[in-house]
Amino acid sequence: MRSANIAELRDRLTQYLREVRAGEEIIVRDRQRPIAKIVPLSVDDDAEAALVAAGLLRKAQRPLPAAFWRTRRGGVTIRTALAALSEDRNHR
């Protein structure tokens, strides 16, 4: 793992990003104090990161409890749901 001061990172950003693409992690320092880490994104993280950056996705703070998946659904039929949706659209 390499480290770089802000000025050095700014001057050689392309080189450092090339190293990150190759799998290297870079610690960013401000006056020798670590403030950030630049790490490569995995393929799965790439799409997720783009959604987070666009403000379309927020990462979960904790996993859903197992009980969530056992919760019973309401007794609404597809026909009732479609009728409500259609009515809502007609009022707009």
Whole-model pTM?
A: 0.47
Q: What is the pLDDT of residues 32-42, one digit of tens each?
A: 999 999 998 77
Q: What is the pLDDT of residues 14-51, one digit of tens each?
A: 999 999 999 899 999 999 999 999 998 776 667 888 88
| Domain limits for position 22 | 2-90
* Cβ neighbour number for residue 16 with a 10 Å cutoff: 19
Q: What is the CATH number of the domain that holds 74?
A: 3.40.1620.10
Q: How many domains does the chain have?
A: 1
3 state DSSP class of 13 = helix
Name the residue among 29, 30, 4 with its Cα closest to residue 17.
Answer: 4
